[in-house]
Structure 1
Amino acid sequence: METAILLFCFILPVFSQECCAINHQKKEKGFQQHTHRQLTHRHYKAVEGEIFMIPCVKSPNNTVGLHTLIRSRTEEDKEGNNGPTFSCGKGFLTEIKHSGKYTSPNGEMVFTLQVLQKISLGCFLPNESSVMLLVNIGGTISCPGLACSNNTGAVWFKGAKAVAEQRRDSCQKEGLLELCTVSQIDSGVYFCDRQIMEQGVTWILRRAVNVTVIPRLNASAPPDIRYPSANMTEEVELDRPHNLTCKIYFEFEIGLHCPISVQWFMNHGGNMKNRTLLHMEKLEQENNFKGCLVIWKAIIENVALQHLNHTYTCIASNTVGNSSVTIALKRKFQVIWPSLVGYPLASFVVVTGLGIIVHVKWLELRIFWRSQFQYRKQDGEEKLFDVLLSYVRSSPSAEVAGGLTLSSKSEPYDYEKACLSNIPLEVLLPQVLEDQWGYRLCLLERDILPGGAYTNDVALAIKRSRMLLCVLSADYLANSDAVFVLESGVQALLQKSGVKVLLIRTDGRPVSLIHPDTSLSQLVQRALRVLPSLDWNSYKSSTATSSFWSSLRKAMPNHRSGLVSAMQSQ
């Protein structure tokens, strides 16, 4: 058998090269005449047990595609049994019962199929229905039954498409299909059609050939054991099962299934001549065009001390030779320190890490806690001022906006009707907080008498206020006096003075990035990260119903009636 295949794969391609060189152009035209012929009634013969595919053709008017054929009802179908239905372009195994006449749903196309018994052919050869071709060389496919027929003309198809319409180097000659260079994609089912005349009717005898492209006839090397490696040692646990895994790659060999042979042996005392075959199970297999990769395992049900005195060998074989790998086992000592030492140590590391984080962030945590919760405990304490407003003017004309000044109180400022986007925030805030909302406001430039010590005056003003409100404009953190007010407010917050500190950002950036070039103290830098803040946008916050004004109103201290008492106590 292998000799015949060798002759078929290596001798016939010599003729195919001449066919490809001389007749490649001639076969195109002949194919077009056959494949484009349009018939209203087509007659096909097939052989039982072979794959058959109804060809897809167009109707005579060239407008309706033929997709499905339904067998016409016969005398046997009078009881209501429906006949078989087939779709063009889809292969199926033929049976004698498939013989009959088929029509398309629109009735324009008629198709007659006659399934022949194998014994009726006279010279049926089963081997003709399958061919193996070697990759990267020329190959020849012969039409089955060609030697028993006087008609050597045949038209070839691969699947539903004529070979003549496929862009590849091939030709057809005397019932043979010559492939100039065989590639992996040439595998598949091919059909050869030959015309037969019977009683004036032209029949097409369609035979199928299953073509398999192979990389080689025989393996070129013994199996490649990829795991385990030679002389390696695997760790095992006593009184527990263990799997010995062997991963092997086998090259393709014609007529042999992968894998050819894999065995695990236990060598008693390391003696290769005194061995025992172990029970094996297949884990997985990966096939490709050139070979296959298989994984087999041998199972040791319960590892005992005597298993450590033996060696274990994996042997893989093919027609070229054998490959083997021997390994040993060693005891795996259970580590008990993770439960006795590791867990307490891990807990200590976690606690220590948290302690370091708290130590580094302790100042920020204190500022955050007091700014969020501490002031509420002393919110009822009587103070001279409700709010100390700290800001840096953006321009010399900031005092005047809309015809009103900071000290103008002749008429209440209706901020709901004003165009807030045209008024600087440092001008707008005093008018809203004091004139509209009725809070007692402390402005350093207005309520602090000149000539005194600035630092003492600022500290006293913060002590007498329930809230410090800082407008962090672009110039605020670059102004030393303004930064001093903010730092004094943070210090007062840490001293449990009950003052609340609130920041208003005017340019949308984080407060720590408003003036990155300014050299600020660590206290101010950390306070800027955690102090509560609001964002002011001259466009989005220009209406009284904006979220800015709602949030500011909620952040303001409650109105108190103890102002007079506070003044008398001074």
Structure 2
Amino acid sequence: MQTGYVLLFWVFPVFLERCCVKRNRLYKTGPHKVMTQQHYRVVEGEMFLMPCINNKVTWYKIGVGREENGGFNLDCGREFLIEAKHSGNYTLLAGKRFLYLQVLDKRRLACYKAEEVDVVMLLAGAGGKIPCPGFSCTISTGVTWYKGNRSVWTKHRDSCVKNGHLHLCTVYQSDTGRYFCDSRFIEQGVEWTFRRPVNVTAIPSKEARSPPRITLPDGSTAQEVELGKPHILRCLVHFPFEVNFSPQVQWYMNNMDNRILLHTESQDKKRLSFEEFMVTHTSIIQEVTYLHLNHTYTCMATNAVENSSVTVKLKRKIKEKWPSSLIGYQIASLLLVAGLGIVLRVKWLELQLIYISRFQRGKVDADEKEFDVFLSYVWTPPHEEAGLTLPSLSGPESHDSPLEPFNSEHGIGDLRPPEVLIPLVLEDLWGYRLCLLERDMLPGEAYTNDVVRAIRRSQILICVVSTEYLSNSNAVFVLESGIKVLLQSSTLKILLIRTNRTSAHLIQPDSPMPSVVQRALKVLPGLDWNLGHTERATGQFWRSLRKVLPTHRVRHVTRGKSHVHYGQYTTSTETKSWE
């Protein structure tokens, strides 16, 4: 190998310079033509490449059976290690080309030299020469050079062949690769091609030009360690290119004036680029003690130019059981969950009532319900209610009105309290089956049970809420019973009609209302009794009420005269019969 370097860098500089100065491109050093029969001579143990003819082809060995020929199908352009068994005749599939391959033992060559160079290093940026092995063994009639299966002449570069050697005027990094030297000679009237491989490596320089560069560790930062546990000392070093690259990297422990060499755990090297290698050197402190904290540690790297070193200290790693930020997040999360739990516990009844009354609707079978509407109210003295009248109740029927038109004989235009007007509209005008306490309930020991049963057998409970209503224990009992039934069954609906005499936050009844009633008054659906304020407000109230009410069975009306009694009021209406 050393002989090869001498030949490479110091031999033939004058001839190489003359070749390139004259820019003499000798594409052929002798006649060469494609023949139908070719003879190739190769050396056993070297890499070989079957010649290609125009396109990529496959050579088949002649005289070998189909089963055995699997190992002798040789594609041109595919390199393989030549063996003695490869000797023989080959042909193309078309049978128009033939090739005889003769494999020789290197030690029996007439001009065999043990020190013969088969690896050549060329300096990038300068000129270089690639010798043709065994060229002096024969009287050559011509030499052709290939890089892989492509002729060097196809690369369009300044080069020439002198004495069989390939001279490159300028060596580039891309010149690295395996070249083949085909020298032709005639023996006993047969033209032979002697193919020999040469491995070429382009190098940036023959020697290192700068000292190694240590990128890890950082000498300005102490390394954290845990007592009683192992610690890895890792050193990352970048070396400039050297022909005989033998990196020297070590870790030392500095104890006062002494320097102790640490055991090398591992050392890996790889080539990062054309001009640089990288070495990773690792040593391990098996168990860190307080004594290790008093020492310093030095990584030292050496090459032919200079030494480089980095020194680091060790410091004890302080464990944090819980980072302060993490504790803050946990406490905030805990408080949030606790707060939500408290809110849910305090507002659970309201949330239930909102969900049941507004979103959950069970399927109602009207035939199983005795009443469409259970109406609960407390009589109000007439002088306390503002002057409220229905819209015009006379004249031709108009189905655009929010109410079905009254007959002028009804005479209810003077009925002002909602306790009178609402039952009349629901039962006599809209035809709902109505349950009224003073009419359909008998006082007695089973009164409370009858009220609860009537609520269960009604589709909707309507409570006309006023200050008097919330001060009446019987009325509050009805509302409380309805709330409990609503929580048990999703088929019941509750509607509060608040009169203008009601102000929920100002109500101070004689006896305190049950908590369930106080909380339900805030969330149950309701309508404001504003009848008679404006014609638009009046129409909006009746439309909203009609929308909330359940759908009742179809009725058949028999026209006739009768009287309907509501307390002290009497009104004339039509007699209705139900099916």
TM-score for both structures, normalised by structure 2: 0.58
The secondary structure found in structure 2 opposite 1:157 is strand
Q: What is residue 219 of structure 2 aligned with on the other side? A: 230
1:231 to 1:373, Cα distance in 2 relative to 1, 3 A? same
Does residue 57 of the first structure (1) align with residue 53 of the second (2)?
A: yes
Amino acid in the other structure paired with 1:308: L
Matched, 1:249 2:238: yes
Displacement of 1:351: 4.9
Residue 333 of structure 2 aligns with which residue? 350
Offset, 1:316: 1.5
Provide the rounded CA distance (Å) in 2 between the counterparts of 1:442 and 1:92.
103
SS at match of 1:306: helix
Q: Distance in 2 between matches of 1:383 and 1:166?
A: 103
- What amino acid maps onto 1:157 in structure 2? Y
Q: Which string of whole-angstrom CA distances, capped at 9 and with x for unpartnered residues, describes residues 286-320 of structure 1?
A: 54321211212111111111111222121212222
Contact 2:250 2:261 in 1 (8 A): no
CA gap 1:131/1:274 in 2 versus in 1, 3 angstroms: closer
* Residue 93 of structure 2 corresponds to residue 105 of structure 1: yes
Secondary structure of the corresponding residue to residue 333 of structure 2: helix
Tell me the amino acid that sits aligned with residue 47 of structure 2: I
1:143 equivalent in alignment to 2:132: yes
Q: Cα offset for 1:282?
A: 3.0
- Name which of 65, 70, 74 aligns with 2:60: 70
Q: Which amino acid aligns with 2:330?
A: S
Q: Could you say which residue in structure 2 is the equivalent of 1:421?
A: none
User: Using the alignment, how far apart are the partners of 2:124 and 2:352 within structure 1?
Assistant: 78
Cα distance in 2 between the residues matched to 1:192 and 1:73: 29
Amino acid at match of 1:116: L
2: CA distance, partners of 1:39 / 1:152: 16
Equivalent position amino acid for 1:375 in 2: R
Instruction: Note closer, same or farther for the CA distance 1:155–1:329 as it changes in structure 2 (3 Å cut).
Output: same
1:328 alignment counterpart: 313
Q: Is the 8 A contact 1:152 1:174 kept in 2?
A: no
Matched, 1:294 2:283: no
User: Given that residues 187 and 213 in structure 1 are in contact (C-alpha distance below 8 angstroms), is that contact kept between their aligned partners in structure 2?
Assistant: yes
Q: Distance in 1 between matches of 2:123 and 2:401?
A: 98
1:182 pairs, out of 148, 156, 171, with 171
Map of 2:506 onto structure 1? none
Q: Distance in 2 between matches of 1:558 and 1:20?
A: 109
- Verify the 8 A CA contact 1:382 1:562 in the aligned structure 2: no
Q: Do 1:31 and 1:164's aligned partners in 2 also have CA atoms closer than 8 Å?
A: no
Does residue 46 of structure 1 match 2:42? yes
**Distance in 1, Cα, partners of 2:277 & 2:269:** 11
Q: Which moved more, 1:152-161 or 1:315-324?
A: 315-324
The answer to whether the Cα contact below 8 Å between 1:41 and 1:109 also exists between their aligned partners in 2 is: yes
| Structure 1 unaligned blocks of 5 or more | 59-64, 360-365, 385-406, 410-440, 447-459, 467-492, 500-555
Report Cα offsets for 1:202-233 as digits up to 9, x if no partner.
Answer: 11111111101111111112221111133542
Corresponding residue number in structure 2 for 1:192: 181
Structure 1: distance between partners of 2:236 and 2:150: 42
- Residues 30 and 143, structure 2, Cα contact 8 Å, conserved in 1: no
Instruction: Give, as a single letter, the amino acid of the residue that structure 2 aligns with 1:133.
Output: L
Which residue number in structure 1 is paired with residue 207 of structure 2?
218
Residues 344 and 129 from structure 1, CA distance in 2 versus in 1: closer, same or farther, beyond 3 angstroms? closer
1:455-494 → structure 2 map (5 Å cutoff)? none
The answer to whether 1:122 aligns with 2:113 is no
Q: Does the 8 A contact of 2:60 with 2:69 survive in 1?
A: no
Matched, 1:261 2:248: yes
1:96 Cα deviation (Å)? 2.2
CA drift of 1:16 comes to 3.6
Q: Name the CA shift for 1:279/1:378 in 2 (closer, same or farther; >3 Å).
A: closer
2:100 counterpart letter in structure 1: T
Which whole-Å CA distance do the structure 1 matches of 2:548 and 2:5 have between them? 100
The aligned counterpart of 1:560 is 551
Q: How many residues align?
A: 404
- Show the counterpart of 1:470: none
* Aligned 8 A contact 2:142 2:185 in 1: no
Q: Distance in 1 between matches of 2:401 and 2:107?
A: 116
2:112 partner SS: coil
**Paired letter, 2:274:** F
Where does the alignment leave 5 or more consecutive residues of structure 2 unmatched? 343-348, 365-370, 375-396, 406-421, 427-458, 460-520, 528-546, 556-564, 567-579
Cα distance between partner residues in 1 of 2:264 and 2:245: 23
Deviations 1:230-249 (A, max 9, x none): 35421100111110111111
Percent identical across equivalent pairs? 37
* More displaced stretch, 13-22 vs 314-323: 13-22
What is the distance in 2 between the residues matched to 1:80 and 1:377? Answer: 84
> Which of 203, 207, 223 does residue 192 from structure 2 map onto?
203
Tell me if the contact between 2:350 and 2:523 (Cα under 8 Å) persists in the aligned partners. Answer: no
SS of the equivalent of 2:41 reads strand
Provide the residue aligned with 1:497 in structure 2: 525
Q: Which residue of 2 aligns with 1:423?
A: none
Contact 1:267 1:276 in 2 (8 A): no
Once the two structures are TM-superposed, the CA of residue 250 in structure 1 deviates from its matched residue by 1.2
Aligned 1:413-562 pairs, distance under 5 A:
495-497=523-525, 560-561=551-552
Say whether the 8 Å CA contact 1:13–1:140 is kept in structure 2.
no
Tell me: CA distance 1:207–1:408, structure 2 relative to 1, closer, same or farther (3 Å). farther
SS, match of residue 85 in structure 2: helix
Shift in Å at residue 561 of structure 1? 1.1
Post-superposition offset of 1:348: 2.3
Closer, same or farther: CA 382–26 of 1 in aligned 2, 3 Å: farther
Query: Given residue 59 of structure 2, which amino acid in structure 1 is its aligned partner?
Result: L
CA gap 1:25/1:210 in 2 versus in 1, 3 angstroms: closer
2:228–2:287 contact (8 Å) kept in structure 1 = yes
Provide the TM-score with structure 1 as the length reference.
Answer: 0.59
Paired with 1:14 and 1:558, the residues of 2 have a C-alpha distance of 116
Instruction: Report SS of the residue matched to 2:329.
Output: helix
Q: In structure 1, what is the equivalent of residue 447 of structure 2?
A: none
Quote the offset at 1:147 in angstroms: 3.5
- Residue in structure 1 matched with residue 8 of structure 2 by the alignment: 8
1:86 matches 2:74: yes
**Aligned match of 2:293 in 277, 295, 308?**
308
SS at match of 1:182: coil
Aligned partner of 1:305: which letter? Y
Larger Rg: 2
2: CA distance between counterparts of 1:11 and 1:129?
A: 16
> Which one-letter code corresponds to 1:167 in the other structure?
H
CA contact (8 A) 2:353 2:523 kept: no
User: Residues 443 and 170 of structure 1: is their aligned pair in 2 closer, same or farther, counting only changes over 3 Å?
Assistant: farther
SS at structure 2 position matched to 1:154? strand
Moved more, 243-252 or 342-351: 342-351
What amino acid is the match of 2:50? I
- d(CA) in 1 for partners of 2:326, 2:359: 42
1:158 — aligned with what? 147
CA distance in 2, matches of 1:79, 1:162: 35
**Alpha-carbon deviation of 1:156?**
0.6
Asked if structure 2 preserves the Cα contact closer than 8 Å seen for 1:12 and 1:139, the reply is no
Residue of structure 2 aligned with 1:280, choices 261, 265, 286: 265
CA contact (8 A) 1:73 1:83 kept: no
Segment drifting more, 275-284 vs 297-306 = 275-284
Structure 2 CA distance, aligned partners of 1:443 and 1:188?
99
C-alpha spacing 1:442/1:96, structure 2 compared with 1 (3 Å): farther
